[in-house]
Amino acid sequence: MKRYLVEPGEKVDLTKRDPHETGDFKGGKKEGLEAIAKLNQELQELQELLYAEGKHKVLVVLQAMDTGGKDGTIRRVFDGVNPQGVKVASFKVPTPEELSHDFLWRVHKVTPANGEMVIFNRSHYEDVLVVRVHDYVPKDVWSKRYDQINEFESMLAENGTTILKFYLHISKEEQKERLQARLDDPSKHWKFSVGDLGERKLWDDYQKAYEAMLSKTSKKHAPWYIVPADRKWHRDLVISTVLVDTLKGLKMKYPEPKDNLDGIVIE
Ligand code: ATP
Ligand code: MG
């Protein structure tokens, strides 16, 4: 999965990243789905271990253009994990109270505790994406946020948080198809927002903002992965693989029993 990792300091050019590719994976969709099912089993076991051990904190950040597949990723990759130890935090347009604080205030409150995994559906990165594209704050304010985010994430990492960040990379054509599908299917109308069409017109500005974000904030302790996401199964496969590999790397262990259990007989 190294091919999708953004090396710290790398200058990202999204036009050189193919949203449709399936990379080194030799099989097609059928094999992909089988691999995902296996990984999902492993993820469930690792998450149980994370919760039981209660030592590590795991933060998964998902960012994407509209229709990029954040919701689908959460539904499928995390299918079957124990809801007791996994939370999703969704970041919408900030409330007046949130806006009256610094931009990380609402974020820090929902970062994972020991044993927890938290998935950010959108994140503090909106503050250098939508905010930058629409000039919601002046450039001298948003431009300082890359360093502020890096420092914030370093602090989380130093305090035991494993951070993984995924940018779900779709093509403009794929977005058109997904928007059209939402329009054609009455059961998907609730997902259609006319505002998304306005954002689609700003596609190039968003891609530039994403490139800056990916180039400036991929760090060893908080790496970005650019996930080709036109094919949903391949998107899920990449994310599941990175998650499982990373969790295995934590070398977690079930805790020792609190009491001596030798010779105990339950009557
Ligand atoms: P879906 O992708 O399924 O439509 P969503 O995450 O887009 O779900 P919405 O309620 O449609 O959910 O949109 C949330 C909106 O909030 C997005 O347009 C996003 O850009 C915006 N937003 C998030 N954080 C900020 C922020 N800090 N400042 C301004 N807008 C923000
Ligand atoms: Mg939306």
53 lines ligand 1 (CB under 6 A): no
User: What would the mean pLDDT of 84-108 be, rounded to a whole number?
Assistant: 97
- Mean pLDDT value across residues 38-46: 98
Give 204's pLDDT tier (boundaries 50, 70, 90): very high
pLDDT at 17 over 90: yes
Place of tokens 């969790």: 247
Residue 98 is encoded by which pair of tokens?
A: 């949130």
Q: Report whether residue 66 contacts ligand 1, using a CB cutoff of 6 Å.
A: yes
The mean pLDDT of the chain is 97
Task: State pLDDT tens for residues 129-166.
Answer: 999 999 999 999 999 999 999 999 999 999 999 999 99
Of all ligands present, the nearest one to the C-alpha of 92 is: 1
Query: What pLDDT is stored for residue 213 in this prediction?
Result: 98
Of 18-27, 100-109, 165-174, 233-242, which range is least confident?
Answer: 18-27
- pLDDT-derived band of residue 45, with 50, 70 and 90 as boundaries? very high
Q: Which domains does the chain have, with CATH numbers?
A: 2-248 (3.40.50.300)
Say if residue 1's pLDDT is above 90.
no
Q: Tell me the whole-structure pTM to 2 decimals.
A: 0.97
Mean pLDDT of 158-185: 98
Tens digits of residue pLDDT in 235-265: 999 999 999 999 999 999 999 999 999 999 9
In this predicted structure, the answer to whether residue 7 has a pLDDT above a threshold of 90 is: yes
- Of 123-127, 165-169, 254-258, minimum mean pLDDT range: 254-258
Q: Which ligand minimizes its atom distance to the CA of 182?
A: 1
Q: What integer pLDDT is reported at residue 131 of this predicted model? A: 98
Banded pLDDT at 30 (limits 50, 70, 90): very high
For ligand 1, atom 15: residue with the closest CA:
92
Structure tokens at 222: 């908080």
pLDDT classification of 60: cutoffs 50, 70, 90: very high
Residue 91 beta carbon below 6 angstroms from any ligand 1 atom: yes
pLDDT higher than 90, residue 24: no
Q: What is the C-alpha to C-alpha distance for residues 76 and 73, in angstroms, rounded to an integer?
A: 5
pLDDT at 222: 98
pLDDT beyond 90 at 176:
yes
pLDDT score of 67 more than 90: yes
Q: Is 125 in the pocket of ligand 1 (CB under 6 A)?
A: no
